[in-house]
């Protein structure tokens, strides 16, 4: 586990944050940058290639997961399936931006806490409910991977509407690192 020192985050002292937190914050900030370049009407635009889905739909889904994590993490039990599914997040990019900002603040607030504390993660399935043992750190890893997965779908939706997201949007950090190494060999 590495620790990252972040300078210039609002006070004179450097803040020490775990990569599990900084990577999630960086990923959420990618979403905020996408909202800056995406025309509002395309935020809710549906596409035949991905039936029923829009950029707003996928972003709201991610926001719901982070919101549940932050609201429940200190209880020791996470239930991602009990999401709010707030339609205003899905239809209003400004509301989504506000939620992303709140989530990044919530993640920063975790920076002084033990990320290795255990958690129970509850899952609802077609046959009932079950739980798995996890940790705060592992759930941050899940959230990052889950968000990148949905960002990849959002990137396709954007490109179908002739909006090019940032080159790293929806791409796993390991893939970006591989591409950098391959590029250096050329």
Mind spelling out the 3-state secondary structure of 108-169? HHHHHCCCCCEEEEEEEECCEEEEEEEEHHHHHHHHHHHHHHHHHHHHHHHHHCCCCCCCCC
Cβ atoms of 43 and 31 within 8 Å: the answer is no
Query: pLDDT-based confidence at 48, cuts 50/70/90?
Result: confident
Q: How remote is the C-alpha of 44 from its chain's centroid?
A: 19
Residue ranges per structural domain of the chain: 4-174
pLDDT band at 4, cuts 50/70/90? very low
% of residues, the chain, pLDDT over 90:
81
Q: Do the Cβ atoms of 67 and 103 come closer than 8 Å?
A: yes
DSSP state of 34: H
pLDDT band at 169 (very low <50, low <70, confident <90, very high): very high
Mean pLDDT for the chain?
A: 91
Mean pLDDT (whole number) for 108-117 = 96
Residue 13 has pLDDT above 50, yes or no: no
Find the angle CA(87)-CA(171)-CA(133) to the nearest 5 degrees: 70
User: Is residue 53 scored above 80 in pLDDT?
Assistant: yes
Q: Identify the CATH number of the domain defined by range 4-174.
A: 1.20.120.450
pTM (predicted TM-score): 0.89
């Amino acid at each position: 586990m590495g620790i990252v020192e972040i300078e210039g985050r609002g006070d004179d002292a450097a803040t020490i944050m775990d990569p599990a937190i900084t990577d999630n914050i960086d990923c959420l900030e990618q979403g905020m940058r996408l909202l800056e370049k995406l025309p509002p009407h395309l935020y809710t635009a549906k596409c035949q290639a991905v039936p029923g889905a829009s950029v707003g739909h996928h972003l709201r889904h991610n926001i719901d997961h982070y919101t549940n994590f932050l609201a429940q993490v200190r209880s020791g039990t996470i239930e991602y399936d009990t999401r709010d599914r707030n339609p205003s997040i899905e239809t209003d990019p400004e509301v989504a931006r506000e939620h992303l900002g709140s989530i990044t603040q919530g993640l920063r607030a975790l920076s002084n806490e033990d990320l290795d504390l255990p958690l129970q993660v509850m899952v609802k399935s077609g046959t009932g409910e079950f739980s798995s043992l996890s940790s705060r750190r592992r759930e941050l890893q899940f959230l990052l991977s889950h968000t990148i997965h949905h960002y990849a779908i959002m990137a396709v939706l954007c490109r179908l509407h002739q909006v090019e997201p940032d080159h790293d949007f929806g791409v796993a950090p390991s893939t970006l690192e591989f591409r950098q190494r391959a590029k250096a060999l050329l």
